Structure 1
Amino acid sequence: MIRKAVVGACVVAFGGVLSMNLTMSTARAASTAAPQCEINRPIVFSDLNWDSNRFHTALARFIVEKGYGCKTDATPGDTMPLIMALIRGDNDVMMELWEENVKDVWQKAEKQGKVEKVGVNFPDAVQGWFIPKYLAEGKAKGLKSVADLPKYKDLFQDPEEPSKGRFTNCPAGWGCEDVNSKKLKAYGLLKDYTNFRVGTGAALDAAIAGAYKRKKPILFYYWGPTWIMGKYDMVQLQEPKYDPKVWDNLLKNDNAKQACAYPVVAVEVAVSKPFADKAPKIINFLSHYHTNNAMVSRALTYMQENNVSAKDAALHFLKTQQKVWTKWVPADVAKRVESALN
C-alpha cells in the first residue's frame, strides 16, 4: 500500500511538472508567435539614399516584420520625390524627415492633413560647410568662416574651371543641394566658386574620403550623424548665426541677399496620415523610436569599416544595443525580435 501510494504520488507529481512545463512552453510559444499585422499589405518605407536613413529604415523594417508580423517594402529615391510619395500616400513611413530643408512643402501637406510627424528619431543633427582639420591647421589656417572663402579659391581649385575654387555640394534632388546653391548666391561666392553637385550620396562620401586619405584640399557640405563625421576630423566653417527670418526667406527666395547657418535640428519620423489612422500599434513603436547623433555615427562607422550593408549594421545594433531598442516596443514584441535574431 505504501509503495502504491508513493508511486501514485510520483505520477501525480510528474504529471504536475509535465503540465507546468507544457504551460510554460505554451506561454513562451504564444509570446513569440507571429501576430496578425494590422495592415493587410506591405508597409512601404521611404528609402532615402544616404547611409543613416538606410540604417534606420533597415532597423525599423526588421522590428516591424519580426515583432509585429508585417510585410514591408521600400521605395528608393531622393528627398523631394519621396516626400511627394508620402503626401500622395504611395509610401507610408519616412525614418528621416529633415523638415527645415523642405519646410514649405512639408508644412503645407501637414496643414492639409496628408502627413504627420510621429516622433523624434535623433534630436541633434548638424549640417554645415566643412574642411579637413589638416587644412585648418596647415594651408588654410586663416580660413575660419564663409566670408574668408574668396581668399582661398586657388587652394580649392576646380580642375574643370581653374580660375575658380570648387564647392562640393549634395546630389541634385536633395533638399540640402537647393539650400547650399542659394547660400552660394547669397554669400556672393559664385564668382569665385563653382557649385559642383555630385551624382549620389556614395559619390559625395568617396570624394571626401579620397581627399582626406591623400591630404588634398576639399570644401564641402556635410551633416551628422554619418560615418564620415565619426571617422575623420573635420572643421566646420562659421556662418552668420542662425536666424529664423533669414532662414525662411532663404528657403522661399531663389535670389535671397542674406543667408545664415543651418539650424541644429531634430530629425523626425514621418508618416502618411491614412497609414497613421490604420496602424496605431506601428505608430506607437515609431513614436518611441529614439536615437542620437553619436549612437548613429558609431553604427555607420561599423557599417563602413566592416564593409557591411545597412541591414547587417541594423542586426549588429539589435544584438548589441538591447537596452536601447527594447524601450521602443512592448515586451512581447521585443521577445519576438530577439527570437528572430537567435
Structure 2
Amino acid sequence: MKAFFTSFIFALSLYAGMREAQAAGCGKVSIAQMRWSSAGIAANFDKFILEKGYGCSVTIVNGDTLPTFTSMNTSGTPDIASEFWVKGFKPQLDDAIKAGRLVEGAEILADGAIEGWYIPKFIADANPDIGSVQDALRHPELFPDTYNPSRAAVYNCPESWACEISTRNLFRALNADKLGFALIDSRTPDDFDASIARAFDNKVGWIGYYWSPTSVIGKYDMKLLNFGVPHDQVEWDACTSVRGCPNPKVNAYPVSQAFTLITRSFADRAGPVMNYLKARSWDNETISQVLAWQDENGEDNENAAHYFLENYEELWSHWVPADVAEKVKASL
C-alpha cells in the first residue's frame, strides 16, 4: 500500500511538472502585426489570450505580407503571423510547409475575403428581383450618379488599386455604358467610402465594387450581387485583371483565403498554444462589426482587440479550454 501511494504521488508530481513545463515552454513569442486593421486586431487578441490565458510573454512586431513571410521562412522570426493572405504565395508557402520550416494554423477568416459589386440592402429589399449585377443594371433609375443625377453610376476604386482594373473590365464586359451607366473613378479611398455614406444618408441607390471584411460593410448594410457565372481563374489572369484587355468577359471575383502561419521552431515548443492557433477563426460579419466600432471611435488595434474580447465571448471562448477562457475573462 505504501508503495502504491508513493507511486501515485510521484505520478501526480510528474503530471504537474509536465503542465508547468508546457506553460513555461511557451516562453517568449513574437507576433507580426500587419498593416491592415483586421490583421492588427487579430495580432492583439492573440497577444492578450497567449499572455493572460497561457502565460506567454508576447512582443508585437510590425509586419507586411512579403517581408514577414520571407523572414519567417528564412530566419524563423517572427513566430506567428496571425492573418496571412495566401494569394500570390501559395507555391512558396507549400514549399515552406513541405520543408518543415513553417506550419499552417487556422483559416482565420472563416468566410475568406469577399470581393464584388454591392448595393444597399434597402434597395435590394425594395426590389426583390435584383439578385445579380445584370439585374441591377436593368434599373439605372435606382442608381443615380450623386454628382449628375441625370445618369446612373457604377462606382470604381481609386486608380492605384488593383480592383480599379477589374471593375473597369467588368463594366466593359457587361456593356454597362449602353444601359445608361457611367463608371465613376474614386479620387481617393476617402472619396470612395464617402460615396457610400452619401447614398445611405440620402436613401438612394449605389452600386459598385467593395470588399469584406471592412468597417464600411460593418457600418452599412450592403448586399453582394452575383455575376451569374463562376470564377474563371484563367480568364482572370489573362484579361479581367489586366489593364486595357481588349475583349473582357463577365467573370466572378475570387475568394481570397487568409491563414495563420507559425514557424516550426515555435510550433515544436508551443504545447497547448498550438491547439488555440489551429482553432480560432472569425466570420466576416463579426470582423466588420469590430472594424466599424474601431473606425467610429477612432481606436487603435489593441483597444479594438479588447472590445472584441469583451463583447464576443460566445465566439472566442470556444477557441480555448474553459480554464484558459476563465483566465482571459478575469483579465479583461
Asked if Structure 1 and Structure 2 have the same fold, meaning a TM-score greater than 0.5 normalized by the shorter chain, the answer is: yes
Distance in 2 between the 1:53 and 1:321 partners? 17
RMSD of equivalent CA atoms: 4.3
The answer (yes or no) to whether the contact 1:129–1:221 under 8 Å persists in 2 is: yes
Aligned equivalent of 1:329, options 304, 320, 332: 320
3-state SS of 2:106 partner: strand
**Could you tell me which amino acid in structure 2 is paired with residue 106 of structure 1?**
F
3-state SS of 1:113 partner: helix
The answer (yes or no) to whether the contact 1:120–1:266 under 8 Å persists in 2 is: no
1:289 aligns with 2:280: yes
| Aligned position for 2:69 | 87
Corresponding pairs, count: 292
Distance in 1 between the 2:155 and 2:115 partners? 15
The answer (yes or no) to whether the contact 1:172–1:197 under 8 Å persists in 2 is: no
1:215 aligns with 2:197: no
Counterparts of 1:243-322 in structure 2 under 5 Å?
243=231, 246-253=232-239, 254=242, 255=245, 257-262=248-253, 265=255, 267-271=257-261, 273=263, 280-281=270-271, 282-304=273-295, 308-322=299-313
1:260 Cα deviation after fit: 2.6
The answer (yes or no) to whether the contact 1:172–1:199 under 8 Å persists in 2 is: no
| Aligned position for 1:46 | 34
Aligned equivalent of 1:129, options 110, 117, 128: 117
3-state SS of 2:282 partner: coil
The answer (yes or no) to whether the contact 2:279–2:319 under 8 Å persists in 1 is: yes
| Aligned position for 1:232 | 220
Distance in 1 between the 2:195 and 2:282 partners? 28
Task: Sort the Cα spacing of 1:118 and 1:164 in 2 relative to 1 into closer, same or farther, 3 A.
Answer: same
Structure of larger gyration radius: 1
Aligned identity (percent) is 24
Distance in 2 between the 1:69 and 1:61 partners? 8
Query: What are the ranges of 5 or more consecutive residues in structure 1 without an aligned counterpart?
Result: 1-26, 77-81
State the Cα deviation string for residues 26-81 of structure 1 (Å, max 9, x = none).
Answer: x9xx99xx9464446x3322232x4x4443333223223444423332436xxxxx
**Could you tell me which amino acid in structure 2 is paired with residue 250 of structure 1?**
W
State the Cα deviation string for residues 284-319 of structure 1 (Å, max 9, x = none).
Answer: 322111222343344345445555444333213323
**Could you tell me which amino acid in structure 2 is paired with residue 239 of structure 1?**
F
Aligned equivalent of 2:133, options 143, 146, 149: 146
Aligned equivalent of 1:60, options 46, 50, 54: 46
1:183 aligns with 2:170: yes
1:69 aligns with 2:52: no
Distance in 2 between the 1:214 and 1:236 partners? 20
3-state SS of 2:280 partner: coil
The answer (yes or no) to whether the contact 2:33–2:60 under 8 Å persists in 1 is: yes
| Aligned position for 1:110 | 93
3-state SS of 1:229 partner: helix
| TM-score after normalising by structure 2 | 0.66
Query: What are the ranges of 5 or more consecutive residues in structure 2 without an aligned counterpart?
Result: 1-15, 73-77
1:259 Cα deviation after fit: 3.5
1:88 Cα deviation after fit: 1.0
Distance in 1 between the 2:147 and 2:324 partners? 55
The answer (yes or no) to whether the contact 1:39–1:279 under 8 Å persists in 2 is: no
Distance in 2 between the 1:262 and 1:284 partners? 33
Task: Sort the Cα spacing of 1:316 and 1:339 in 2 relative to 1 into closer, same or farther, 3 A.
Answer: same
